[in-house]
Structure 1
Amino acid sequence: MKKEFDLFLTQIYEAVEHPDLFEGALLTASDLLQGSGIHLYTYNPERPEERLNYDARMDPAFEPEYTTDYFTQDYRIDRIFKAPFAKLLTDADITTDYGLKTNPIHQLLPKFEIYDLMGTNLTKGENFGWFGVSSLKPGDGFSPLQRKMFESMIPHANRALHYRQRVKSLELKLALHDNIAGDTPFGLIVFSQYDINSINPRALEILEHGFLRLRKTGISCSDRKQNKKLEEAQISALVGGLPIVNLTDERTGTTYLIQMFNPKPQASGGSLETAQYLAVKIMVTSATARADPAIIERLSDVFRLSKAESNVIRAVLSNRSLQDYAQDRSVRLDTVRKQLKSALYKMGINSQKQLFQLYEVFRSFRG
């Protein structure tokens, strides 16, 4: 049993880097649980492009039909939302007698051979999250041993799902794609535990500037004060964070936007160890005027900003005070603040500092 569980751990964390491996991990989990269809899923109707759906032993037609036609009608969603995070749930916890009689979801599930359920609430923020498994036949239920095994899987399914979600969200926000060609506009270095795993030509060019320096376990900065930011970011990345660091070379006015992440979490003995790999993405911009209209337009299109929201972020990026902007527009300062807050929310950030960082990223990938 331990051998099979270790295989599940290896597969679920490998799948973070290679999502096509999620099915194999879930097949292993289904075998261990002696169950049938198994589902790892996160969805937000407001951001459908960020949906993640991984399953095994389920009809592939189930999820599209469920998400499109049933998700908003499924009364169980609200009950799952309100349940404690990562606590084991069964049908008795999420269904009601009235719902069984009246809700269309209970006509859909048998159609796809989904019977007694055991699952958990993996919701974070506004993204509904679910990890669940169906019994083999109606009325089978789950034994105490099956429940204990499922509970031991929950923290690993949670980490894998939400790490993958953060990676996908970041890729969408930065307009990145998995099939970026080798001739990338940014430097990319991948470090293994005590060595350099790979480095692309653009990274070598950036290092020639002398501001950033290459070490066997990461990069450092010639400016001691700014180097501390890199050290803190690296620690964050190695435990699952996705830090972005903005450094400026005062001699040249060049800005270095550096993103770090762990592309391959490693599991051992049922716990997540310090990462064995570290990826460093470096984007360089010159000290030119901010608030390029083309970049503002692109930001507005990607995040669906209103005209008022677009105008206020243009003002912020042009280093104008909100008070001056409000006076020029003949609107209340409180209104301008609300417009800015709304814009930042749509972009998934919460500070003007992060807005400047996001702007630099979009400018780096222009064209």
Structure 2
Amino acid sequence: MSGAVWAHVGQPFEERAFDTVILGAGRMGTAAADWLRRTRPEQSLLLVEEGGLPNEEGATLLAAGLWEAPAQATDLAQRTLDCLEELGERAGWQPGVPLLTLETVPGPQSFPTAEALERWPELRGVIDPALWPWVRAQEAGLYRPGALALALGQRAVQAGAGLMLNTRAALVPGGVQLSRLTVTNTHEVVVHEVHQVQAGQVIVALGASGPQHAEESLGLHTRHGRAYVQRPRLNAPLTEQSPALRVPGLLLRPQSGGYTLYPAPRAADPHGYVPVPGRLSGVPVGLRREVLETLLTHMEGLPALASSALEVGRSLSDVPGTWVALPSGQPGHPPVLERLSPSVSLLLGGEQADVLGVGVAQQL
């Protein structure tokens, strides 16, 4: 039996208690909801999202959606792959996409870049083989994280989960406070009504804002940080068979006939940091300084980055960007499921959510 969906304030909400409430309908939150409905169908569950499904402003929609076999096989990676293969087209799953890692010295599985350029001639204006003479190829897969979240959320609702959209949530003793939002005639978002809901357990899956949300509500300090990342566009003429590329600190994902760039966050941004655009040759651009530094490092080896094919914008709003969570404790900021109190857990995606995210959510 499908669960109830509360999409707007015209739908009355009378429920007072749930076994589990999940805050956040991004990739991690919907994966947790889907897993709990399949493994604990006897328990009631409510998934709460401030926007729509999937959340429109979080890191899910801007994630790369690239799955690759990790260096050491893990059950978490396999679980994520199993989910992608099961959902298939619903998640935009494209298996068998080549991923080329560019190298300066040959490794055990490397071959000359010149051979790669013969196979993929569209890369001749992207890669300088004199600076990246070797490549290592592996098979990967692409998917759309937003489509994955939508599919998982829909499946959870079809299995009996409740879904409340356009609702802001806050942790309170014994449960959550739900503030249902509406829009006035002057396009102002206001709180229409407030409800208190008891919950046996609460899963905070609010992305980069999750740790701060938990700290303010519970008074607990978490070690996790966040960083403002941007996803600039490189308008290289690619085909559907073009590979993804990787160099240190930068992933180039083929998308819509070009590359979307994914610079890795260098470190967590300090508390209170406000993103500020930088300058390129004295000209204001929409890329923040840390992103510019990463791209400048690779402009010689990837000459397309130094051409007009790179969209730099004139302000931050011209370049898609978002805050991402940086779970601490291990290199690469892998996803974590951390119990903050007997009834509250924190679920964070991190930089490796593409490969491990669903598996970590299924640890509940």
TM-score tier, shorter chain, comes to under 0.3
Max radius of gyration: which structure?
Answer: 1
Compute the TM-score of the two structures, normalised by the length of structure 2: 0.23
Compute the TM-score of the two structures, normalised by the length of structure 1: 0.23
Could you say which structure has the higher helix fraction?
Answer: 1
